[in-house]
């Protein structure tokens, strides 16, 4: 059974303005995909649909065999999470360790070990999240949502400093962990990233099409 399935999904901001039309795709357990498209192509809209933040104008999105729109809001974070572009406003506690403890409590997952934190190249856990650089903040958000909350489907919208080795190490770690656990991961960006994705989709003119299997 597919972890993620979209069947003939349309999304309109207005009746005469389609953003996405007839989108159908399936992703089995453990699979990852890079979603390519220009700014304004609909990548973020696709992510918000998959994350359950907005509902399709028509069609259905299914996660773990359940239609996402029928999932209670309290249970939705375990099903699908849309990771938006980073903001200081996304953090609520005074230190990284307190943010991690909050994520553990809210998700019901186990606390990460010191070894599992290493690939994220974070400063001291006593650091205030608002003192992080933007690349550090992106990695920390990836840790919290991708490795601690661990939803069945994770849609990451954009990468900060994608060419940096620390960013790629953190992303590879999350992809490996989620692949091992049978969870689906998608990342939206404007250009190809060679970090081990299984598939590549393109978003253009309202359509989502598969571009093939990445060679890297």
Split at pLDDT 50, 70, 90, the class of 216 is: very low
Name the one residue in this structure whose structure tokens are 């996304």.
90
High-pLDDT (> 90) share of the chain, % = 76
Interatomic CA distance for residues 59 and 114, integer angstroms: 43
Look at residue 1 and give its three-state secondary structure. Answer: coil
CB 167 within 8 A of CB 135: yes
Q: Which residues contact 46 (CB under 8 A, 6 or more apart)?
A: 20, 23, 35, 155, 188, 203, 208
Of residues 184, 162, 201, the one with CA closest to residue 23: 201
Interatomic CA distance for residues 49 and 43, integer angstroms: 10
Split at pLDDT 50, 70, 90, the class of 189 is: very high
pLDDT tens by residue, 81-112:
999 877 666 888 999 999 999 999 999 988 89
* Number of helices (H), then strands (E), in the chain: 6, 10
Cβ-in-10-Å burial (0-12, 13-18, 19+) of 96 comes to: buried
Bigger pLDDT: 127 or 213? Answer: 127
**pTM for this structure?**
0.93
pLDDT of residue 212: 67
Give the pLDDT mean for 117-136. Answer: 95
- Mean pLDDT (the chain, rounded): 92
Just give the CATH number of 4-212: 3.40.50.300
pLDDT tens by residue, 9-41:
999 988 778 899 999 999 999 999 999 999 889
């Amino acid at each position: 059974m597919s972890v993620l399935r979209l069947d003939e999904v349309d999304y309109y901001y207005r009746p005469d303005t389609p953003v996405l039309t007839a989108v159908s795709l399936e992703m089995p357990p453990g699979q990852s995909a890079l979603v390519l498209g220009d700014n304004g192509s609909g990548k973020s809209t696709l992510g918000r649909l998959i994350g359950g933040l907005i509902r399709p104008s028509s069609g259905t999105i299914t996660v773990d065999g359940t239609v996402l729109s029928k999932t209670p809001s309290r249970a939705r974070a375990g099903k699908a999470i849309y990771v938006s572009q980073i903001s200081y406003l996304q953090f609520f506690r005074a230190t990284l360790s307190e943010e991690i403890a909050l994520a553990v409590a809210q998700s019901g997952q186990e606390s990460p070990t010191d070894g599992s934190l290493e690939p994220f190249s974070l400063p001291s856990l006593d650091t205030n999240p608002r003192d992080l650089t933007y690349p550090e903040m992106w990695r920390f958000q990836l840790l919290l949502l991708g490795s601690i909350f661990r939803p069945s489907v994770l849609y990451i919208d954009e990468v900060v400093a994608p060419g940096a080795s620390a960013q790629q190490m953190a992303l590879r770690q999350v992809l490996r962990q989620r692949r091992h656990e049978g969870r689906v991961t998608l990342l939206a960006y404007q250009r190809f990233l060679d970090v081990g994705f299984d598939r590549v989709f393109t978003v253009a003119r309202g359509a989502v099409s598969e571009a093939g299997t990445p060679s890297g």
